[in-house]
Amino acid sequence: MWFVALAFLVLLRYDLSLSADRWVQHLSYVVIAALIQVMVGFGVHLYLGRSRFGSFGEVGLLTAVVAITALTAGGVSFLLTPEFSRAVVVTVPMLALLGMVGGRMLFRAFYGTDRVRSKVEATPALIYGAGDSGAQVAKLVDMAEDPPYSIVGFLDDDPSKRFYRVRSYRMLGRGTDLESVVQKMQAEVVILAITHASPELIADLDRRCKAMGIKMVIVPPVREMIDGQVDLNKLRTFNVADLLGRRPIKTDLKSIADYVTGKVVLVTGAGGSIGSELARQLKRMGPSKLLLLDRDESALHAVQLSIYGTGLLDTDDMVLCDIRDLDALRKVFRRQRPEVVFHAAALKHLPMLEQYPDEGWKTNVLGSLNVLTVSEEVGVERYVNISTDKAADATAVLGQTKRLAERLTSHFAETTGRPYLSVRFGNVLGSRGSVLFAFRAQIERGGPITVTHPDVTRYFMTIPEACELVLQAGAIGQPGDALVLDMGEPVKIIDVAKRLIDESGRHDVEIVFTGLRHGEKLHEVLFSQGEGHVASAHPLITQVPVPPITPGEIIAADAWDDEEMQHTGPRRAL
């Protein structure tokens, strides 16, 4: 390109009419420049496979190499021949660089990663969403050796993108134009490429696609991606988790690490759905020791296997203990000296606790009191009690017992002055024994699915989302507070049932309404009436002060005779 640039300049300016001395001077210049560039280029690996195809990074490096070459070759030429042409020194390097960049662009255009491959047998697909995710999907389809889709165009609701093109694919309209565009372009798949799409949008789009007899697949939310990158193999159909929405969870990992890293951390109920996920996330924070406590040896085996890849249960960090047993707990805490405690152990099934309220009392109240007592005795620095939205305006045994656990935690926060706090959230989608498990089991049996009421709603979170916010809440909570996690919008249980039926493909499964059970609410709330709450340092966490209750009042209530009390819940007089 140095020689081509020189020939081009001489042709335009001198019409190839140069004296023999001038030709020697100019040719000597480009020979020196070419040799210098080759040496410098090899030195910075420009010609040793630094880039597979030309890129902005390589062009920047190439520009720097040419600049060094031009200055050096020009200096040498002026030293040898003071009257050397300044036009050559200025113009030839720029033309040479332009030719080098152009050559790389042509190579990339024909052989590079941006070349669209043939997709003759691929399924025609319409992409809804022309943002970053949509562009990633288009790029992946273009680059794939055997792409599953052939993109026919884009839809987007942003009017400013009316004439927008994504990798040469045209914008064909807005969401309201879906049916007409699908018919015109003969699309067989709609790819929803909006990572923060609302549940309403996803459900509506799914309904419209079904009405047209075409398939809808969605780009998963960011939390399901690897480093925020879309993967064609991860595109999936609309599932129950999408009913919850796609709020991005921003966690301050540094503040979490500050109270976990290098500390002895203990999790009660570590074999449960919440406890096991908490343990997995805590392990990544680098505690000096992670103690997993549960009364279920099989559950401990499962969580040890999931975290460490072994289930030998022969180490002292796997603790088999019942929180109802104060003496056993005391031995564990005195031996292990935990510094941070996450108390997730509880009985949680509402109808079962309505039948056996004393069992809820023994575990959720007295068990929590035992854990708090030994935590105070050994000087636990931070204590996080996992509570429930049913503790707000509690009407059932589950809510009442968990509310008392919150109040006990508040009392110990007062007496110790340490951040002993509670975290309150609703149902966790996919947790053991949750509605998801029940509905799927009923579908496998051929139905019917039993729903208490057609209008009943519940708050839901995914397990990782809940645990991530629990860890964040533990970092920012003040002593005695209950921190209430933002659960998004409540979801109708009947919508969950219908979604699961659609996923199963067994559309003959019926839904039967059984009526609300004793103590069950039609709609859950996150705050009790008159409960003052303020925003916290995290946008998805709200702080609520909790009135304390002393252990003495609990013990006194426990000693009262059940028949004399005539209670319908656990020590309801409290």
Report the pLDDT value the prediction gives residue 488, as an integer from 0 to 100: 75
Report the pLDDT value the prediction gives residue 430, as an integer from 0 to 100: 67
SS (H, E, C) 371-438: HHHHHHHHCCCEEEEEEEHHHCCCCCHHHHHHHHHHHHHHHHHHHHCCCEEEEEECEEECCCCCHHHH
Cα gap 389→396, rounded to integer Å: 12
Residue with tokens 């031996």: 335
Cα gap 420→412, rounded to integer Å: 7
Q: Which of 165, 163, 159, 115 lies closest to 141, judged by CA?
A: 115
Q: How many residues does the chain have?
A: 574
Report the pLDDT value the prediction gives residue 307, as an integer from 0 to 100: 94
Residue with tokens 């809808």: 216
Report the pLDDT value the prediction gives residue 566, as an integer from 0 to 100: 44
Query: Hey, is 178 helix, strand or coil?
Result: helix
Domain with CATH 3.40.50.720 in the chain: 123-238, 253-565
Report the pLDDT value the prediction gives residue 464, as an integer from 0 to 100: 81
Cα gap 267→303, rounded to integer Å: 12
Residue 79 C-alpha from the chain's centroid: 63
- pTM value surpassing 0.85: no
Q: Could you confirm whether domain 123-238 is CATH 1.10.3720.10?
A: no
Residue 346 C-alpha from the chain's centroid: 27
Report the pLDDT value the prediction gives residue 52, as an integer from 0 to 100: 63
Cα gap 321→292, rounded to integer Å: 10
Whether a cis peptide bond, with omega within 30° of 0, leads into 454 is no
Report the pLDDT value the prediction gives residue 563, as an integer from 0 to 100: 47
What is the pLDDT tens value at each position of the chain, 574 positions in all? 999 999 998 888 777 777 888 888 889 999 999 999 999 988 888 887 666 666 777 888 889 999 999 999 888 888 888 888 888 888 999 999 999 998 888 887 776 555 455 445 789 999 999 988 899 899 888 888 788 899 999 999 999 998 888 888 999 999 999 999 999 999 999 999 987 788 888 889 988 998 999 999 998 775 555 555 666 776 777 777 776 665 556 666 666 788 999 999 999 999 998 999 999 999 989 999 999 999 999 999 999 999 999 899 999 999 999 999 999 999 999 999 999 999 999 999 888 999 999 999 999 999 999 999 999 999 999 999 999 988 888 889 999 999 999 999 999 999 999 999 999 987 887 666 678 878 989 999 998 999 999 999 888 888 887 888 899 888 888 899 899 888 777 888 998 898 888 878 888 899 999 998 887 888 887 777 767 777 777 888 899 889 999 999 998 888 764 444 444 455 554 5
Q: Which residues are catalytic?
A: 390
Q: Which of 558, 544, 549, 209 lies closest to 389, judged by CA?
A: 544
Counting Cβ atoms within 10 Å, is residue 18 exposed (0-12), middle (13-18) or buried (19+)? middle
Q: Which of 101, 5, 93, 95 lies closest to 53, judged by CA?
A: 101
Report the pLDDT value the prediction gives residue 24, as an integer from 0 to 100: 86
Report the pLDDT value the prediction gives residue 486, as an integer from 0 to 100: 82
Phi-psi category of 279—alpha, beta or left, where left has phi over 0 and alpha has psi -120 to 50? alpha
Q: Which CATH code for domain 253-565?
A: 3.40.50.720
- Cα→Cα distances 298→270, 349, 414, Å: 11, 20, 37
Long-range contacts (CB closer than 8 Å, 24 or more residues apart) made by 316-320: 317/289, 317/290, 317/291, 317/292, 318/292, 319/266, 319/291, 319/292, 319/293, 319/294, 320/293, 320/294, 320/295
